[in-house]
Structure 1
């Protein structure tokens, strides 16, 4: 039997071969009818032949005239969260609908909030969809499609940590053993950060941020690791701090303030964050060499230059004195937030693995309260009493400079500052930030409001804080910051306030390394 017989059946009883019946071609018929060489009525979605035979009916794509093959210019579409979400879904979900060939996405820049493999690998102008996965593919459901455009939960970047982050982690463990909260306690902090990497990712991010700032502060320009610069490491510190704050805000909102399961990483995060913010705030007024005593000292009115912290730190870029005080006020508010994080779980923290870090300040605090208080702030108390009195320091009757509320706010701040001086003396190691941070944490909101008005008495109190910072100058975040703070306040207030500032100015001239 010939091939023609096999395709069209055998001959009849009379031995005559039946020929294939002719049919009219249907150019736009379905694929099944074309394969079977039968006429298709082109009925959609399923033609009559396929419907009767219960076959799967599909139509090939319609041919377009040559003039229509040219793609029309498409407007550049903005990159939306929905695009990112659907792109991620198409890459990872085998059930998503994907084209037969890679198609270009609308051109867009990398998402600054995340670091994904696409942004690293896709160096070209377009990003391309991946090849279609094996197996059956289905269209997304109606509900799924519209849910994707209605809500987009935050998705962490595919690559959480880079090679630079690993370098910063090594820098923490290798070069910052005496630079995190307390000497010799870096292993405890690192162990806690790694153990809580999943439920408290903000802690490791903040630790890396502080590491980047330490590199910027302590490395010489020609010795920066990974060919970095002071500016690049400071920017990286800011980026990591922002990422840490974002995750901390989201996670902390879901737990009560007295939650003991999360209080350890929350306390460490708040402490490290406050150190970084204080360092960056004090950096706003840096000067490598003391300037002559005059009103425009250190570019108080915008003309000063930057300097270094801790011997070879980054340039600070001096801002106006008003701007610096605003930054200082924000820093104080953040430190007061640390107290809000610590207070509900303090008893638990003292019994936790953080005891080696906390008992140092705890014991110094007991000594500061029980032992005889010092006299560092005696002149401040006399200044406030005179300003609140109706008799001026020259003996003539005049309206008091300070109202009762402002005077009380300053007195409370002075008491806290004297307590901080006493604590500093009781510490076994005085090259630590504990005493200045303790004072800032305990400041009342009323004093902060007075400070914001640039009241001279409030600024003099801040200059006395500069003395405390100056006595901790060997700690890397301080350096010359205390002396610079005192000179900035003296320059702003002018010669009329030289007498109240005499002691702070004397300290920074005599107590030098």
Structure 2
């Protein structure tokens, strides 16, 4: 399958060129290298240095930090830097999802976010269910006006809402997808730029907006990542891990604001959309997978524990999909499993640990059951196909259950 092309960056760093992604050319460390803590080198030191940007002064630290912690970084926005200080930013999503030429820059890319008719179309189209589609229509009728009211006070949230609305319209209108994707890309970048420039301190006046921003932007990044699965296996896994690192960073936005949120107007929403790490698995769909992980040789105690927790979270998701009592959060785990896992699990995927890749392959069972959701569609099928190609036939028996579910019976690994 041919890899998508992308708009090349002549002055980009070596690492971005190697990974075939567009570099933002920030000096001394570009955004992609900063967020993933890769060594950033440019071809020539004589190249003109990019001007300073507000994104290098943001109040959110680089979310790709690999400091020794299994949970999200410490509460609040300021996260202790590593020995070698990195620019503190929120990184825009991987550029590989957008492969066409950008349209003529719209007013959305200008400081101040001037409104145009496209933006009005996106605003009229926006519903809370566009961003959080696994919830039912009755919930949406309450959540949408509340979200809209909050967004009018915070331009960065409004831009994020317009961006995901445009991304949804690209799916609904294939004949105009290039236009809508271009607008979504520009609006998303503008949302991040405005947010970073404000150096926000979370308090009771903005905690609801910050949480909504984190959720909507994270969802947008996920749909972009899932839509880019035409890449080869190595690039796909790199992009997926990159998404997880950035989304985990976004999750720190609300990490110390739960007391504030309990008194906010969006608190009722959180009763349905909260993190499900504490839920217990009851089903037996993944019993064979769990047993295989437990019996795997050469895993240290921490790695084994992290992998088993990831399996249990998958089972929680499968339990809720099959339960009539949890219709309001039926597909929730499909969207949050990747960031509910400990940070170390993502490190194991980066290292291509076979056990982690086999578990990740079983994540496509959740995606398969969620294919009616616009953000997912056939991503489960394509994601599993790619992971199987990376693992090879040696793990056919470990993947039998999920392959049979997603591909249907009679499929064998080549």
Alpha-carbon distance in structure 2 between the residues aligned to 1:475 and 1:271 = 16
Alpha-carbon distance in structure 1 between the residues aligned to 2:178 and 2:395 = 37
SS in 1 for 2:255: helix
Question: How far does residue 490 in structure 1 lie from its aligned partner after superposition?
Answer: 1.3
Question: How far does residue 506 in structure 1 lie from its aligned partner after superposition?
Answer: 1.0
Say whether 1:329 aligns with 2:241: yes
- Indicate how the Cα distance of structure 1 residues 351 and 420 shifts in structure 2: closer, same or farther if over 3 A, else same: farther
SS in 2 for 1:243: helix
Question: How far does residue 416 in structure 1 lie from its aligned partner after superposition?
Answer: 2.8
Query: 312, 316, 339: which is aligned to 2:251?
Result: 339
Q: Give the alignment of 1:61-460 within 5 angstroms.
A: 115=107, 156-157=111-112, 160-173=114-127, 176=130, 179=133, 183-197=137-151, 199-221=153-175, 229-251=176-198, 253-256=199-202, 259-285=203-229, 318-362=230-274, 368-369=279-280, 373-388=282-297, 400=298, 402-426=299-323, 428-429=326-327, 433-460=331-358
CA contact (8 A) 1:260 1:348 kept: yes
Query: 490, 499, 505: which is aligned to 2:403?
Result: 505
- Indicate how the Cα distance of structure 1 residues 387 and 263 shifts in structure 2: closer, same or farther if over 3 A, else same: same
1:328-356 deviation line (CA, Å, top 9, x unaligned): 11221233234322332224434432234
SS in 2 for 1:274: helix
Say whether 1:468 aligns with 2:340: no
CA contact (8 A) 1:210 1:272 kept: yes
CA contact (8 A) 2:167 2:180 kept: yes
1:302-342 deviation line (CA, Å, top 9, x unaligned): xxxxxxxxxxxxxxxx2121111111112212332343223
Question: How far does residue 358 in structure 1 lie from its aligned partner after superposition?
Answer: 2.0
CA contact (8 A) 2:285 2:315 kept: yes
- Indicate how the Cα distance of structure 1 residues 452 and 363 shifts in structure 2: closer, same or farther if over 3 A, else same: closer
Alpha-carbon distance in structure 2 between the residues aligned to 1:463 and 1:491 = 11
Alpha-carbon distance in structure 1 between the residues aligned to 2:128 and 2:205 = 29
Question: How far does residue 444 in structure 1 lie from its aligned partner after superposition?
Answer: 1.1
CA contact (8 A) 1:466 1:482 kept: yes
Question: How far does residue 179 in structure 1 lie from its aligned partner after superposition?
Answer: 3.3
Question: How far does residue 405 in structure 1 lie from its aligned partner after superposition?
Answer: 4.3
Question: How far does residue 220 in structure 1 lie from its aligned partner after superposition?
Answer: 3.6
5+ residue gaps, structure 2? 1-50, 53-103, 410-414
Alpha-carbon distance in structure 2 between the residues aligned to 1:414 and 1:363 = 16
> TM-score, normalised on structure 1?
0.54
- Indicate how the Cα distance of structure 1 residues 363 and 208 shifts in structure 2: closer, same or farther if over 3 A, else same: closer
1:257-294 deviation line (CA, Å, top 9, x unaligned): xx222110111111111111111101112xxxxxxxxx
- Indicate how the Cα distance of structure 1 residues 176 and 284 shifts in structure 2: closer, same or farther if over 3 A, else same: closer
- Indicate how the Cα distance of structure 1 residues 441 and 347 shifts in structure 2: closer, same or farther if over 3 A, else same: farther
Alpha-carbon distance in structure 2 between the residues aligned to 1:192 and 1:249 = 24
Aligned length: 307
Question: How far does residue 424 in structure 1 lie from its aligned partner after superposition?
Answer: 3.8
If asked which structure has higher relative contact order (CA below 8 Å, sep 6+), I would say 2
Question: How far does residue 175 in structure 1 lie from its aligned partner after superposition?
Answer: 9.1
SS in 2 for 1:353: coil
Question: How far does residue 480 in structure 1 lie from its aligned partner after superposition?
Answer: 0.8
> TM-score, normalised on structure 2?
0.66
Alpha-carbon distance in structure 2 between the residues aligned to 1:423 and 1:205 = 32
5+ residue gaps, structure 1? 1-79, 82-111, 120-154, 222-228, 286-317, 389-399
Which residue in the other structure is 2:83 paired with? none
